[in-house]
């Protein structure tokens, strides 16, 4: 582990999309590349944290220097996160599918045999909300992300209250911004003290600034 202000701190995080199977060869996914989460994992590890990096099938490789736990579905991600606790902080950068297919077929769905299939959905567990609401075992700092397209600060502030997390890192993912899948991000950090908007910068720079803020907030670990 690297030396730095997060030495002695254990941080559990999620990154990437989830895949929700329809049948053995098909799934529902989303456009998350895992780029911001991967940059954040790298930055946290670079500051000395022990990072458990729970990742869905991302299009970028996971960072070096973290413990990688690979999952596919939201439910696997939830189980992996809970199994990795306790931690000093938890950061949820994954784009978790809101729904899973309850009508998942054990064999490949065939065409040409009658009607087109109808998929049935059930809501996935909300990992951020569940961890935020843990009594004992709640990490001291719980950070969520919010991808918004309009009224970013209002929606993200509401999300922070609804989920019960400490911070929301909100980003404007309107197609015109080019942020989703792009190299840059423009974020607003929502805490109990209000909203702090950062200028647009590379995802690596956002990750480093966030990691530093996390380190400042946690302070030095006792007995390091
Ligand atoms: O509700 P929404 O998806 O907008 O919230 C985004 C935040 O919640 C992100 O931090 C995401 O990782 C987390 N989340 C989660 N589990 C879900 C849905 C979202 O942890 N099922």
CA distance 174 to 151: 11
pLDDT in tens, 150-185: 999 999 999 999 999 999 999 888 888 887 777 898
96, 134, 173: residue to mutate for ligand 1 pocket, most atoms within 8 A of CB: 96
CB 96 near ligand 1, within 6 Å: yes
Separation in Å, CA 113 to CA 16, 30, 117: 36, 29, 10
**Helix residue ranges per DSSP H, 29-118:** 35-46, 74-84
Around Cβ 186, how many Cβ atoms within 10 Å?
Answer: 17
Residues in the chain: 224
CA distance 195 to 170: 10
Is it the case that residue 10 has pLDDT exceeding 80?
A: yes
Q: Is 7 annotated as a binding residue?
A: no
Cβ atoms of 68 and 56 closer than 8 Å: no
Provide the ipTM: 0.98
pTM of the predicted model as reported, rounded to 2 decimal places? 0.95
């Amino acid at each position: 582990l690297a030396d730095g202000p997060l030495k002695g701190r254990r941080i559990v995080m999620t990154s990437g999309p989830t895949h929700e199977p329809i049948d053995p060869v098909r799934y529902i996914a989303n456009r998350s590349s895992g780029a911001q989460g991967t940059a954040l994992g790298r930055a946290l590890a670079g500051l000395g944290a022990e990072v458990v990096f729970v990742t869905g099938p991302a299009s970028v490789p996971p960072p070096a220097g973290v413990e990688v736990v690979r999952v596919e579905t939201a439910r696997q991600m939830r189980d992996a996160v809970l199994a990795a606790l306790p931690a000093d902080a938890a950061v949820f950068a994954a784009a978790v599918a809101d729904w899973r297919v309850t009508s998942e077929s054990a064999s490949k769905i065939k065409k040409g045999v009658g009607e087109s299939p109808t998929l049935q959905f059930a809501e996935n567990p909300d990992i951020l909300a569940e961890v935020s609401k843990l009594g004992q075992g709640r990490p001291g700092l719980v950070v969520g992300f919010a991808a918004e397209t309009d009224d970013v600060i209002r929606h993200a502030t509401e999300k922070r209250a609804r989920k019960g997390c400490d911070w929301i890192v909100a980003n404007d993912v309107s197609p015109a911004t080019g942020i989703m899948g792009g190299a840059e991000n423009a974020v607003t950090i929502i805490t109990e003290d209000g909203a702090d908007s950062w200028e647009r910068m590379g995802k690596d720079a956002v990750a480093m600034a966030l990691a530093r803020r996390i380190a400042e907030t946690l302070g030095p670990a006792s007995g390091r």
